[in-house]
Every structure is written in C-alpha cells, then in structure tokens.
Amino acid sequence: MNNRGEDPQIPEIEALHAQTGGAQVPLQPLPSSGAGTNISPAAVTRYQKKNGLKTHARREPAPLKDALHILKRNNTYHVISENYYYKTEPYYTILRYELEGKKVEPSSSSVLDAYVIPICLERAASAGIPVCEWGISQAYVPLPAILYGLNYFSTTLDYFIVDDSKKAKDVIKHITNNGKYPFCYQRYPEGAEIHTCTAIFGRTVGACNTIADYAGKIYEIFRIPLVKLVFVKAGGAFLLSSLSPTRYAQLSDSERALLSAYLSNQEFL
Amino acid sequence: MSRLGIFVDRKTLSNSEQLNALIRCRDVSEELGHDVDFIFPVDICKIPKMDALFIRARTDPMNITYVAARMAKFHGIPVIDDSESIQICSDKINMYSHLMKKSVSLPKTIFLSRNDLSVEHVSHLFDEMGSPLVVKEPSTSFSLRVEKVHSVAEFFKVARRFIKMSDWIVVQQFIESKYDWRIGVLDGKLLYACKYTIPSVTFKIQASVNGHLIYCGVESVPPDCVPPPVIQLGIDAANAIGSGLYGVDIKNNNGDAYVIEVNDNPSLESGEDTCYPLVYQTIVSHLLRT
C-alpha cells in the first residue's frame, strides 16, 4: 500500500567505494569518463582487471527483468529501469520523488517526452541532433516511411518500415486501431538502414564517435540512464528516429559490465 | 488582432453538442476581433503560427493532444490545457497526490501497487474504509474504468482487469450523493458552476446500462446559489493542479464537501455554462491577453 501520508521505504544505493572482498578501495574512473563518450569493450575489461573486479564479462549477471534501481549521487536520485512507460512502477517511483520535492532523474515529464515521438524529435533537434523528418497523418503516408503509433496503446518499440501502399495500409490499420487515432510517420530514404544502440548514462560501448556524441547529448536532454537509440542511417548520416525501452537481457556483456559499474557506484555519475 | 488555434480531433467528437460548442467558441473569438483556425492532428505544424492554443479534444499524455500542448510550450504559445495539467489530471494517482499535498478534502483514498494486491490487504481496506469501495484505473475518463465493489472477491475481479493497464490503481471510500457539483475554474477564479445529477440506475456521471449509454443531467447554477465552501474547495483543488482551466467535481454530503476529481479540458457543451454567458469570452481573453 502506498498511502501518501507515509514515508515510502525506497532502497538507496549510496556506496562511494566498490566492495571488493570486504575491503573498500577507491576506484579508478572508467576510461573516457562522462556522457557522450564511447568505450571499447576491451577498455571495460581492462578497467575491471585494474580495479580487482570481475573480469569475465560473460559472468556478469544481468539485473532481473523489471528490476528497479535507485542510485543517489550528489543529492540526486537516479532511477534506473528497463523502461519508464507511463503508469508503470518506475514512472510512479519518479513521480513519488518529485511530489516529495526530491531531485530525481529522469523527470516524469522527460520520460513522457522521450517516448512520444514528435516531442522526442523536437527536443533532440533543438539540441542540434539530426532527426528524421516527421509528420502526423490519419491515413495517407509518403513512401517509403517508418510508422509509429501515437496513442495510449502504442509503444516506441513497435516501428514499421513500409515501402508499398498495401503494406502501409495494413500497418496503418494496425497502429491506429482501425483509424481511431492519428499516427507519426518519418521519411525513410531509399537505401537507408536502421541502426540501434544502447546508451547507459549517455555512454555507449563500441559505437562510432558520432553515435557516442549523440548519445551523450540525448542523455543531457532527457537524463534517462538506460535507453535504446534508434537511428536511420542514410548517406553516411545518422538521423534520430526514436528512443525506446531496452531489456537488461538484451545488453551485451560489455554494456552489462558498464551498467553494473554504475549500479555499484564503481563508476561515478 | 490575434490568431487563436482551436485544436480538435474529429475522431473524439461524439455528438452535435460538442460541434456546436466549438462553433460557439469560434464565434465568440471572432466577435472579440480574433482570427480562429481549427487545428486538426495533421495540421500540428501550424501551432507555431498561432498566438494561443485552446485544446478541445480528449487529453492524455500518450496521445496527440499532449504533442499539441508541448509544441505550444516549446514555442512560447499560451495554451489551455497546458502539458503539466494534462499529465496530472489524466492520471488519478498524480492528480490525487497533488490534492493530498495541498490538504484538499478528499474521500479516504489510497493507492495500491500490483504487489499490494493480497486478500489480507484488501480485507483490511474494507475494514478501514467501509463497503462499498470505489476502484479506479488511473487514466479513466467519463467514469469508464470506475467500479463500485462490495466484497473482496468483487474487488479482485475489477482490480485484475485494471492492473493490466496500470501498475498502480486507486481505491477510494464511496460517498453517496444524488448529484455532483462541477466547479469550473480558470486561473484560480470561479468560471461557472453546475450540478451533475447522477442517474438513479448508476453512481457515475456516465454509464452503460443494459447496453444503453446513460448520461447525467446538467443544471447550470448561478454563483449565489452555490454553497461558498463548495466554490472555495473547487478553487483550492484547481490551484493544487495549476493555473489553467479545470472542472472540479465535488460531492457535498451532509455538509461535508469532498473533491472527487479535477478534470482538465472540462466539458462545456451540455449547458454547464447557461447561467454564465461570458465563459468563452473569459477563456479567449485569458489566452490572448497581451
């Protein structure tokens, strides 16, 4: 029960040092520390060895599905979750901190912005990130295009690339619940391809410098610790298409190690 | 002369009264010397060209109205409903939390998370809050996902359905009443007041009974006929949310007034403002004040 009059008991992780065999030792920062940087998988392994941490990334257990973690750093609560959908436990956890007047990241309005495609792209574009050209429609769509639902039941995990009118008609029927809602379309140039990557506190593992830079900027805008970035790669340029939730189980070994470093305060925000 | 955008979604226009209300809003704005554009979802890129935006469509943070409200904010355009009000009022957990924070009078209200759903816990709620209880899915509108339950078994039947749509649900003490007050508030001031008479076959303002939609009766009430504590409670509740346009539902039972909910985008098409002929003038002037 979450009676608003009571003080919620939310677990906090406030360790300032890594626990290694019972002794507290100060850690060296990960190479290229800070949002917007890219780390090579090998660098993550070297870092772990140097600090006496687990070095076999494959053995790093993934956090449990749907697990919610709260990190407190410099008086700010960081809520870490696979997704931040409206009306989920992570969303209400953020809301609870906000209502208590505590500083929390991401904010509830940021997560709404991030998962509503047109708003996400407007905010990203205003920060200088190239984004897909978008429009709202209720039936017609210029082809080829990427389509996203824009309603209570849709999720940014579901996007559809359509290049013929028959397929477009079927997809539109599906994502609009038989024409009940408008939808968002994005231009998808000939020869383009989808490129995805996961950002952990604005940092990527094994991504190119351009994507790493965009990931850092996106973190500065939305402050979402764990997010999947979906880009359209066309003519050598990366255009942001959407932000979507990710799954702990889908993280690579190196990404899992990086996330673990944050969760155990081995890497500082 | 300014340009007012009225954001509408023809998919959520459900009757001729709503259409007439939109035309009345346009006519009033034009009489005040403003140009008016109806903006449909596909025209959302026109919002930056407006001097103000009045959203008249079903609001939700996950739909196009939220995009419209955010777009207006990005471009510094005054908007009703603003995105913060949509976010708060569309989610009863958020809305009641804001009211509790400001100590606004409410029926006993608690929030249950998925993990709190145990027979013991629910039995305790019946002991504490009495029977029946009212269970609400947080994003319900027009009383759609609001149910009255009399037993633990009935509670779970409803809660299992609602918890699929939200990780938290609202449980509230039932307050009996023949009518709800609706207090319209704009920028912290009384805009209109009316009574919603609850049909005898239901406890909601709108319900489906034997396949037929039953609506509440609407009776506009002049300000001097509304109990002053009810008006004050309506204003206090609206101020707990923000400074926009709200319709506050209040039950006044045996002299005790309780806020049932605060609605953004309140209905104005069913005679709510009959005793208040200046409602649209006030809203338009508020939006386009310079």
Strand partners, B220: B194
Question: Which residues make Cβ contacts (< 8 Å) with residue A102, sequence separation at least 6?
Answer: A77
B251 and B280 together in one domain = yes
Structure-block tokens of residue A96: 């609870």
Say how many C-beta atoms besides its own lie within 10 A of residue B89's C-beta: 27
CA distance B102 to chain A (A): 11
Q: Strands, DSSP E only, in A26-180?
A: 38-39, 69-73, 76-80, 103-105, 134-137, 145-149, 159-162
- Determine the residue type at B151: S
* Residue A99 to residue B97, Cβ atoms within 8 A: yes
Which of B173, B201, B221 terminates a domain? The answer is: B173
pLDDT tens-digit map of A119-171: 999 999 999 999 999 999 998 899 999 999 998 888 888 999 999 999 999 99
B155 and B180 together in one domain = no
The tally of domains found in chain B comes to 3
Structure-block tokens of residue A249: 């189980």
Mean pLDDT for chain A overall: 83
- Residues from chain A that touch B64, judged by Cβ atoms under 8 A, are 136, 150, 181-182
- Residues from chain A that touch B139, judged by Cβ atoms under 8 A, are 87, 152
- Determine the residue type at A197: C
ipTM exceeds 0.85: yes
Phi, psi of B166 (to 5 degrees): -160, 140
Per-residue pLDDT at A28: 43
End-to-end CA distance of chain A: 32
Q: Judge whether residue B126 has pLDDT over 70.
A: yes
B266 at interface of A, judged by CB pairs closer than 8 A: no
B104 at interface of A, judged by CB pairs closer than 8 A: no
Per-residue pLDDT at A7: 36
B152 and B253 together in one domain = no
Mean pLDDT value of segment A207-225: 96
Per-residue pLDDT at A116: 95
Mean pLDDT value of segment A231-251: 95
Phi, psi of B262 (to 5 degrees): -115, 125
A128 at interface of B, judged by CB pairs closer than 8 A: no
Mean pLDDT value of segment B117-145: 90
CATH code of residue B114: 3.30.1490.20
Per-residue pLDDT at A27: 39
What does the DSSP 8-state code read for residue B200? T
B274 and B211 together in one domain = yes
CATH code of residue B186: 3.30.470.20
B9 at interface of A, judged by CB pairs closer than 8 A: yes
Q: Judge whether residue A45 has pLDDT over 80.
A: no
Per-residue pLDDT at A46: 64
Lowest mean pLDDT among A29-38, A136-145, B37-46: A29-38
Using only the alpha carbons of chain A, give its radius of gyration. Answer: 20
pLDDT tens-digit map of B69-80: 999 999 999 999
Q: Judge whether residue B137 has pLDDT over 80.
A: yes
How many residues are there in chain B? 290
B62 at interface of A, judged by CB pairs closer than 8 A: yes
CATH code of residue B28: 3.40.50.2300
Strand partners, B170: B111, B136
Q: Judge whether residue A100 has pLDDT over 60.
A: yes
Looking at chain B from residue 151 to 190, which residues have their Cβ under 8 Å from any Cβ of chain A?
165-168
Mean pLDDT value of segment B209-223: 80
pLDDT tens-digit map of B162-188: 999 999 999 999 998 888 999 999 999
B269 and B208 together in one domain = yes
B125 and B210 together in one domain = no
pLDDT tens-digit map of B219-275: 999 999 999 999 999 999 999 999 999 999 999 877 789 999 999 999 998 889 999
Which of B173, B188, B213 terminates a domain? The answer is: B173
Question: Which residues make Cβ contacts (< 8 Å) with residue B110, sequence separation at least 6?
Answer: A1, A2, A3, B125, B129, B170, B171, B172
Per-residue pLDDT at A55: 46
CA nearest to A87, candidates B237, B148, B136: B136
Q: Count CA atoms within 13 Å of residue A179 on its CB side.
A: 5
CA distance A96 to chain B (A): 9
- Residues from chain A that touch B165, judged by Cβ atoms under 8 A, are 87
A127 at interface of B, judged by CB pairs closer than 8 A: no
* pLDDT confidence bin for A48, thresholds 50/70/90: low
Distance of alpha carbon A251 from alpha carbon A261, whole angstroms: 14
Lowest mean pLDDT among A104-108, A161-165, A265-269, B2-6: A265-269
Looking at chain B from residue 34 to 53, which residues have their Cβ under 8 Å from any Cβ of chain A?
41-42, 44-45
B53 and B189 together in one domain = no
A51 at interface of B, judged by CB pairs closer than 8 A: no
CA nearest A149 in B: which residue? B63
- Buried b / exposed e over A61-70, threshold 16 CB at 10 Å, is ebbeeeebbb
B188 and B229 together in one domain = yes
pLDDT above 70 covers a percentage of chain A that reads: 78
Helices B64-74 and A117-126 cross at an angle (nearest 10°) of 20
Q: Judge whether residue A174 has pLDDT over 80.
A: yes
B46 and B9 together in one domain = yes
CA distance A86 to chain B (A): 8
* pLDDT confidence bin for B15, thresholds 50/70/90: confident
Domain assignment of residue B131, given as a range: 109-173
Mean pLDDT value of segment A33-37: 67
- Residues from chain A that touch B167, judged by Cβ atoms under 8 A, are 87-89, 91-92
B119 at interface of A, judged by CB pairs closer than 8 A: no
- Determine the residue type at B19: L
* Residue B97 to residue A180, Cβ atoms within 8 A: no
Question: Which residues make Cβ contacts (< 8 Å) with residue A135, sequence separation at least 6?
Answer: A184, A185, B42, B45
Residue ranges covered by each domain of chain A: 40-132+193-269, 134-187
Q: Judge whether residue B9 has pLDDT over 50.
A: yes
CA distance A88 to chain B (A): 5
Per-residue pLDDT at A26: 37
A88 at interface of B, judged by CB pairs closer than 8 A: yes
CA distance A137 to chain B (A): 5
Distance of alpha carbon A88 from alpha carbon B108, whole angstroms: 23
Q: Judge whether residue B91 has pLDDT over 80.
A: yes
B65 and B162 together in one domain = no
Q: Judge whether residue B38 has pLDDT over 50.
A: yes
- Residues from chain A that touch B114, judged by Cβ atoms under 8 A, are 89
Alpha-helix runs per DSSP H in B130-243: 152-162, 228-241
Q: Does residue A90 have a cis peptide bond before it, meaning omega lies within 30 degrees of 0?
A: no
B31 and B60 together in one domain = yes
**Is the alpha carbon torsion for B172, B269, B265, A134 positive or negative?**
positive
Per-residue pLDDT at B121: 93
Decide which of B111 and B202 is more confident.
B111
B64 at interface of A, judged by CB pairs closer than 8 A: yes
B195 and B115 together in one domain = no
Distance of alpha carbon A239 from alpha carbon A230, whole angstroms: 9
Q: Judge whether residue A5 has pLDDT over 60.
A: no
Q: Which of B11, B41, B116 sits opposite A1 (nearest CB)?
A: B116
Per-residue pLDDT at A64: 74
Per-residue pLDDT at A9: 37
